[in-house]
Amino acid sequence: MNRLFRVVLLCAVCGVGSSVPTPISYVPEVLSSTVLGRITQTTVALEQPLCVFNSSDTGCVNCDVWLLVANSSGVARFNSIKNEFVDPSSLMYQDAFSGSNGFYLTVKTKRNVYSCPATAIPGQILTLRVGAEVPCTTPNCNAPLPTGGTFRMKYILINPDIKTPNIVAETEFTDEIMLKSATDPNTIVPFSRRTGGMVVITTILSILLFLLLAMFVAMLAVVCCKKSMSSDFPEHITRFDSLRRYNTHSLQKNPGIISPKGM
Ligand SMILES: *[C@@H]1O[C@H](CO)[C@@H](O)[C@H](O)[C@H]1NC(C)=O
Ligand SMILES: *[C@@H]1O[C@H](CO)[C@@H](O)[C@H](O)[C@H]1NC(C)=O
C-alpha cells in the first residue's frame, strides 16, 4: 500500500514535470518578539527574504518575488492553481476576501533586490511590513490587513515573460499569524496594565494627601482661633460671642464708624 502510494506520487510528479514550482525550504520569518509592533491590528513585520531565491532557476534574471497572503481557505485555493499560469493583476487585495480567492499577491520586488547581502551589517534586519500601504492606490497594493484576521504568508518567484505556468519557485507558508483585534484583552501589554494600576494607586495617594493637608489646615485654623481668643480655657464656646461683641464694641469706639445718632 505504502509502495503503491509512492509510485502514484512519483508518477504525479513526473506527469506535471517542470511546471511544478520549485519548493524552497524557507519559512518567512516574523520579526522576533523583542521588536515592538511586529504584529499589529493590520500589519505584520516580516524579515526580507534575502538570499532565499538565489539558487532557484538562476537563468530567470527578470523574475519577480511576490508576497502571497492567504486566509485558511486561500491556502488550499493557491495550491490548486499554482501549477497553472497565474496573472498577478487578477489576484489583488481588493477582491481577495470577497470573491473566491482567499489570497492575494503584493509587494512585487525584483529578485536581485533580495540577493545575498554583500556585507552583512551585524544586528541589522531588513524588514518587509505587510499591510503598510495607506492609502491603497496601486494595483496589488500592500493594503492594511483586516483587523483580527488569521493569515499565512509565503514568497513566490514568478517569471513575468511567459504565458505558460509561470510560478518558478515558492517558499513554505508561515504558520497561522493572528492579527491583534481591538477588543482582545491580550493586546493590552503588561506594561500598560501596570500603568493602569499605578494610575489607581496615584489617585488614592493624591486623595489621601489632600485629606491630610485638609486636616492639617483645619488643625492650624483651630490653633489660630484659639490663639486669637487669647484664652487659656478651651471649653468656652461662648467666647466667640464675646469676641464678636468685643469687636463690635471696638468698632463702635472707632470714630469713623460711629453714627451721629449714636453720639
Ligand atoms: C477566506 O476568503 C474566502 C474568499 O473570500 C472567504 O470565502 C472565506 O470565508 C475566508 N475565510 C476566512 C476564514 O476568513
Ligand atoms: C545571489 O544572486 C545575486 C544576483 O542575483 C548575485 O550577485 C550573488 O552573488 C548571489 N549570491 C550567492 C551567495 O549566490
**Residue of minimum CA distance from atom 3 in ligand 2:** 115
Whole-number Å distance, alpha carbon 114 to ligand 2 midpoint, is 9
Whole-number Å distance, alpha carbon 122 to ligand 2 midpoint, is 19
Query: Is the peptide bond prior to 135 cis by the omega test (within 30 degrees of 0)?
Result: yes
Look up residue 94 and give its DSSP letter.
G
CA dist 133 and 150 (Å) reads: 19
Residue type, 227: K
Nearest atom in ligand 1 to 71's CA: 1
DSSP per-residue letters across 181-219: -TT-GGGS-HHHHHHHHHHHHHHHHHHHHHHHHHHHHHH
Cross-strand bridge partners of residue 100: none
Nearest listed ligand to the Cα of residue 50: 2
Q: Dig out the grid coordinates for 142 from the structure.
A: 500592500
Question: Measuring CA to CA, which residue among 175, 185, 182, 192 is closest to residue 40?
Answer: 182
Q: Which of 21-25, 33-37, 156-160 shows the lowest per-residue confidence on average (mean pLDDT)?
A: 33-37
Nearest atom in ligand 2 to 58's CA: 5
Rounded to a whole number of angstroms, the distance between the first and last alpha carbons of the chain is 132
82: exposed, middle or buried (Cβ count in 10 Å: 0-12, 13-18, 19+)? middle
Cross-strand bridge partners of residue 151: 177
Residue 223 banded pLDDT, cuts 50, 70, 90: confident
More confident residue, 258 or 233: 233
Residues 131-156 as b/e (b if ≥16 CB within 10 A, e otherwise) read: bbbeebeeebbbbbbbeeeebbbbbb
Domains of the chain (ranges; CATH) run 20-180 (2.60.40.10)
CA dist 213 and 206 (Å) reads: 10
- Provide the pLDDT for residue 74: 97
- Provide the pLDDT for residue 130: 96
More confident residue, 19 or 33: 33
CA dist 184 and 229 (Å) reads: 65
Using a 6 Å CB cutoff, which residues line ligand 2? 54, 112, 115-116
Q: What is the mean pLDDT of residues 128-134?
A: 94
- Provide the pLDDT for residue 175: 96
**Residue of minimum CA distance from atom 13 in ligand 1:** 72
Record the pTM: 0.65
Sign of torsion over alpha carbons 38, 42, 48, 54: positive
Nearest listed ligand to the Cα of residue 58: 2
- Provide the pLDDT for residue 196: 67
